Structure 1
Amino acid sequence: MNTPRRTDNILRTAADLVTETRRGCPIMLQRRFNHDKKIFLGYQAAHTLLDDLQAAGIVGYPATRAYRAHRVLMDRATAAAALNACTDRVQAWTTLYECRSCYRASPWTNLGNETDEFWCPDCEDTVPISDCRVITSA
């Protein structure tokens, strides 16, 4: 049986990467998670991470629609404090599941009354959550 790798919270790790590199770009997050953490995030999951960082005030809006990089507004210490105030967003990124169709990692998305279904934002496949491999767990 595969046991999940124990890692830091994904949203906190994304905040650290963004404040370290001073680049809030989905592709940068994908590459760094894949290379450093061995977690294959899809573009949609990386973009959603940036949306949550934007909601916490860590990054701003993208400069243009063509270039999806967000301006980084905080340093690492201030970003950590901002995430401590947004515990609901941080909890959503505690556990990632691997889609059995495209093998990308994403948090569980509540589709309404189907509490045992996983919807992948990258390939848009819906599968039973029991068929998904847990990638990270806090």
Structure 2
Amino acid sequence: MTLLLCRSALRSFKRRVAYANITYDHIVGWSTSSIRRQHELPKLELEANNEKYPHVIHVDTANSEGSQQEDSVDTSLTDSLEEEMIRGLTQVTWERVDVCFHESRLKYNAHYNIQVRTPMNLEGEDVIYHMIDNFLV
């Protein structure tokens, strides 16, 4: 029932975007924060190719609704709560933005850098600008 309510609420949004640290986030792992199974994570270079957003290294546009659900079920997770959550969440479309702070002075604060929680985490400012520039107001 909870997953049904969650999906219903998520479907009310025009767009759903997950920003995820690919490295150095010791609180939320990359596959969890990007709503992907381990084998679905793309092979990425750690270097950004955009001067305006130096920490944004990969943008994956939305998949069609439900297209991932059955195709990529991880057999090792079939009965787990994690697999149930991923299956439920991937029934709606997601855009994914992969972020990397591996060259940052405070790379071990990646979890907080992506949120820019304090002035100390200002290195993630470009990620916030990426959000602003890519969302319709």
Q: TM-score, structure 1 length as denominator?
A: 0.31
- Structure exhibiting the larger radius of gyration computed from Cα positions: 2
- By relative contact order (CA 8 Å, sep 6+), the higher-ranking structure is 2
Q: TM-score, structure 2 length as denominator?
A: 0.32
